[in-house]
Chain A
Amino acid sequence: MKKFLVLILAATVALSLVACGNTSGEAAASTKSPQASNAASTSNADTVFNIGICQLVQHEALDAATKGFKDALSEKLGDKVVFDEQNAAGDSTTCSTICNQFVSNNYDLILGNATPALQAAVSSTNTIPVLGTSITDYATALDIDNWTGVTGYNVSGTSDLAPLDKQAEMIKELFPNAKNIGILYCSAEANSKYQVETIGKYLTEMGYTLTEYTFADTNDVTAVAQNACLNSDVIYIPTDNTAASCTEAINNVAESAGIPVVCGEEGACKGCGIATLSIRYYDIGYTTGEMAYEILVNGADVSTMEVQYASETTYKYMPDRAEKLGVKIPGNYTAIESK
C-alpha cells in the first residue's frame, strides 16, 4: 500500500511540474498563434472562444450539422474560435467521458450533436451554455414537462424535426390509391419512434392502414424489410440513423419487390427512396452556430433562447427509381443527383 501511495505522490508531483513548465511556455506561444492558446482565458484583448463538439456517431447527416455549426462560427469569428471536435463512435456512454473533458477544460460552449450527446452535455454542467443539434424533440430528450419552446436553463439548440404533416400530404399526393403503409425504422433510436407516432396520426386520418416494422440493428434489416414489402403498398422510413446506414440492403429488397419507399431525409432517399421532403442538416447546424455567436459575443441568455427549427424544406426525388416503378412525380420536385 505504501508503494502505491508513493507512486501516486510521485505522479502528482511530476504532473504539476510539467503543468507549471508548460503554462509559461504557452504564454509565449500564444502571442504568435491564437489557436495555440487552448486554456487562454488569460488573454483579454482578443478572446479566443473554446468550443467542445460532442457528436454521437460519424454519419452523413450529423457530419453536415457539425460542419454547418463550425462554418457559421468561423465565418463570424475567424480564428478567434477553437473547436475541440470529438466523436463517440456510436457509444452513448463515451459521450459522458467526452463532455466531462469539455467541462474540466472550462470551455466557453458545448455542442451536443444527437440526443445522447446532448443529454451527456446537459448532465455534466449547469453553468456552461449547451447547444444541441440534430435533436428531434427537446422535451423528451431532456425530460421536460409543459414544453414551451425554451428549456429555462443553460440549454437550447436546433431541432431536426422534419415537416411530418407535409410528408404525410406528400405520400397522399404520390400514392392516392395505396392502402397499406409500412413504416420501417430501428427500435434502438429514440427519435424515430417519436416521428412515427406523429406522422402516424396524420396518415391514419387520411384513411391509410399503418403497420410498424422495427428492426433492432443492421443484421435484421433485410428480413424485416422483406416482411414489410410483402404486406405494404408503400414503405415510409423516418429520419433514422440505422436505416440511413443500410439503405443498400433496403433498396435491394424494395426494388426487387417493386415497392416504393418514401424517406424522411435526403441521405436515405438517395440510397433507397423515390421521394422525400427533407430538411438540410447543414442548415440546422449553421443556425446553431449563429445561436452560439449570439451567446458568446452578444451575451444572449441561453435559457430564454427558443429552440429553432429548419426554415427551408425541399421536395426531392430519385428520377431513375421513380421511372422504374412508374410513379408520377409532380413538377415542384427537384431531382437528387446520384454521384
Chain B
Amino acid sequence: MNYFATLNPLNLLNAIPGCIAQGLIWGIMALGVYVTFRLLDFADLTVDGSFATGGAVTVMLTLAGFPVPVALLIAVAAGLAAGLVTGLLHTALGIPPILSGILTQIALYSINLHIMGMAANQAISVQKYKLLISLMHVSKAILTAGLLAVVLITVLYWYFGTEQGCSIRATGCNPAMSKANSININFTKVLALSISNGIIGLAGGLMAQYQGFADVNMGRGAIVIGLAAVIIGEVFGGVLLRKFPNFALRMVFVVFGGVIYYIVVGVVLWLKLNSNDLKLFTAIIVAISLAVPHLQAKSKSSFRRTAKLSEAALKAMCNKGGQ
C-alpha cells in the first residue's frame, strides 16, 4: 500500500513533456535509422559513433563562436561523411554491412575524442549560448524538435519520391533487380548511408544541446533506441490504422515511436523501478513490438483457426441444407 501511495500520477503527467521532448530528438534520429534499416535494408551500426560525432561537432563549434544553426549544419555534414565512409567500406572494399558499420563506429570513437580536444566530456551552458533546444525550456524544446521533425519528414517524403530517392528504395527492395534496371546500387547505398548518418548527426547535435553537454559515450546504444523507435512506431501505426500506413505516415509514426519509447522510460522511472534495469526493459519492449505483428500474422494463418472457420462454415451450410 505504501508503495502505491508514493506514486503520484500528477508527477507522471508533469514528467511527460520532458519525455516527449527527448523522444522527439530520438525520433529524429530514428528517421535516420529508418532510412538504412527499412528503406535500404542495411543494419547500419555507424549510428553509435555518428550520433556522438554530431554532438561533439555542434558543441565544439558553438564554443568556438559559430552560431548554433551553422554548427548544426556542419554536424550534419560530419554525419554525412561518417556514412560515406561506411558506404565506401561496404561497396568499394566489399566488407559486409554490419562489419563496415562497426568499423566506422569504432574509428569514430577516436575521431570524436579528437574533435572534442581529447576531452571525454564538453559542457555547453544554456546560460551562455543561444541554444535551439534545452532541457530547461521543455515546451520550447518540444516545439523546436517537433517543427524540425515535420520539416525533415516533408523533405524526406519529397526526396524519396524523386527518381534518385526511388532508386534508393528500389535498391533496398531488390538489389539484383535494381542492378538489372541499370541502377548503380553501390552509389545508392553510399548515398542512403550518408543521408541516414547526416540525420543522425543532426539528432546528436540536438541531444547535446538538450542535455547541456557532449560526451564521447553519448551514442552508446543509440542504435537500439533507434530500432526500438522504428519498430514501436510501425506496430503502433499498424494497430491504430488497422492497415499498413503510407510512406509519409510511416515516418510520422517512427518519430512517434521515439516519443512512446521515452514515455515508457518515464513510466518505468515513475514506478520507481530500478533504472539499472532500463536496458532490460528496452529489450523487452523491442522484443514485444517485434513479436506482435509476427504472432498476429501467425494466428491469422494458423491451420487450427482455418479448420475451425471451415468447420463453422460447413455446419452453417448443413443447417441451411437441413431446413
Contacts and interface: CB of A to CB of B under 8 A. Distances in A.
Interface of A: 3-4, 7, 15-16, 18-19, 22-23, 25-26, 29-30, 33, 35-36, 38-39, 58, 84, 86-101, 103-106, 115-116, 119-120, 122-126, 140-144, 153, 186-190, 192-193, 216
Contact of B136 (A7, A97, A125, A216): A125
Contacts of B121: 115-116, 119, 141, 190
Contacts of A105: 8, 11, 14-15
B120 interface: yes
A188 B120 contact: yes
B305 to A, nearest CB: 26
A120 B135 contact: yes
Given A86-B269, A89-B275, A91-B221, A193 B212 contact: no
| 9 interchain residue pairs of minimum CB distance | A123-B212, A100-B18, A104-B14, A190-B121, A143-B123, A104-B15, A19-B9, A96-B211, A36-B5
30 contacts: A19-B8, A19-B9, A35-B2, A36-B5, A38-B5, A38-B6, A87-B274, A91-B220, A93-B211, A96-B22, A97-B22, A98-B269, A100-B15, A100-B138, A103-B18, A104-B11, A104-B14, A105-B14, A119-B123, A119-B211, A119-B212, A120-B213, A122-B212, A123-B210, A125-B136, A140-B123, A141-B121, A142-B123, A188-B120, A190-B121
Given A38-B8, A123-B135, A143-B125, 15 more contacts: A19-B8, A58-B276, A90-B217, A91-B278, A92-B215, A93-B207, A94-B278, A104-B17, A104-B18, A119-B121, A126-B127, A153-B127, A187-B118, A187-B216, A216-B109
B240 A3 contact: yes
A97 B266 contact: yes
A39 B18 contact: no
Contacts of A86: 269, 275
Interface string B1-21: 110011111111111011100
Contacts of B110: 216
B153 to A, nearest CB: 15
A58 B276 CA distance: 9
Given A19-B10, A97-B18, A123-B212, A89 B279 contact: yes
Contact of A99 (B135, B216, B240, B274): B135
Contact of A38 (B11, B13, B63, B136): B11
A216 B265 CA distance: 29
Contacts, number: 168
B113 A97 contact: no
Interface in B49-98: 63
Nearest to B256: A4
Contacts of A26: 5, 8
A84 B212 CA distance: 23
B309 interface: no
B119 A190 contact: yes
Interface of B: 1-2, 5-15, 17-19, 22, 63, 109-110, 113, 118-128, 134-136, 138, 207, 210-213, 215-218, 220-221, 240-241, 262, 265-266, 269-270, 272, 274-276, 278-279
A143 B113 contact: no
A87 B269 CA distance: 10
Contacts of B63: 143
A99 B221 CA distance: 20
B243 to A, nearest CB: 12
A39 B10 contact: yes
Given A86-B269, A124-B135, A22 B9 contact: yes
Nearest to A39: B8
A142 B5 contact: no
A19 B207 CA distance: 31
Nearest to B220: A91
A120 B212 contact: yes
Nearest to B215: A92
Contact of B275 (A98, A140, A192, A193): A98
A311 B210 CA distance: 36
Given A19-B9, A92-B218, A101 B211 contact: no
A234 B232 CA distance: 53
Contacts of A39: 8, 10-11
Contacts of A193: 118-120
A22 B120 CA distance: 45
A9 to B, nearest CB: 14
A124 B136 contact: yes
Nearest to B225: A93
Contacts of B240: 3-4, 7
Contacts of A7: 240
A188 B136 CA distance: 26
A12 B182 CA distance: 53
A100 B265 CA distance: 12
Contacts of A141: 121, 123
Nearest to A122: B212
Contacts of A187: 113, 118, 120, 216
Nearest to A152: B127
Nearest to B26: A93
A200 to B, nearest CB: 13
B8 A23 contact: yes
